Chains A and B, each alone.
Chain A
Amino acid sequence: DGGITQSPKYLFRKEGQNVTLSCEQNLNHDAMYWYRQDPGQGLRLIYYSQIVNDFQKGDIAEGYSVSREKKESFPLTVTSAQKNPTAFYLCASRVKEAGTSGYNLDEQYFGPGTRLTVT
């Protein structure tokens, strides 16, 4: 089955440590996204990538870094510079070109999320 996987589901880290969240998709989608969600809030865009080896900052990129070396993978590193890293992190993907594998051009597909707790 095609989909987006994020691992792990729960992650615990000590303050001051960098941590990398995994996101993999086998939907053959070009675009991938990272969002952060705090309790009772909507999703805020951290970084996005429209194509391999290219990515752009979203609304809250400070303290985060990403890479896009493969189409299928878009890992997010939460660095020690992120002042308040405890949150629910969601990865998503979207097809860029119409007609690709029958996917809706407008639909964004989300992974199950990683809940990060930093103490």
Chain B
Amino acid sequence: DAKTTQPNSMESNEEEPVHLPCNHSTISGTDYIHWYRQLPSQGPEYVIHGLTSNVNNRMASLAIAEDRKSSTLILHRATLRDAAVYYCILLTYGQNFVFGPGTRLSVLP
């Protein structure tokens, strides 16, 4: 399975932007980059995914490096409800998701 590396934890102030990094230097050409997040005591939920181009949706933006060896999940204005564990996952079509330990984001009021 292709591997990702994320910081164990990050902190942000409420209403400020948050940039969550992910390194995936062994990514292959067919691997999609997915982000999920898990709120306390809940199941993970989908945030965003992309292949090569930057992506935006109502929850976040995904910035993908030109060489695809890294990506950044951007939360434009963090709220207290965004405190969660964020997982960066590489997915090859037809394969299963592999969830690492993720980044625990704390949002300070």
Contact = CB atoms under 8 A, between A and B. Distances in A.
Interface of A: 4, 33, 35, 40-45, 48, 58, 88, 90-92, 104, 106-113, 115
Interface stretch (B13-21, B22-30, B43-51, B62-70): B43-51
Interface of B: 32, 34, 36, 41-46, 49, 87, 91, 96-102
Given A42-B87, A113-B41, A107 B99 contact: no
A42 B101 contact: yes
Majority secondary structure of chain B interface residues (helix, strand, loop or mixed): loop
B46 A112 contact: no
B91 A106 contact: yes
Contacts of B45: 110
A16 B22 CA distance: 42
A58 B97 CA distance: 11
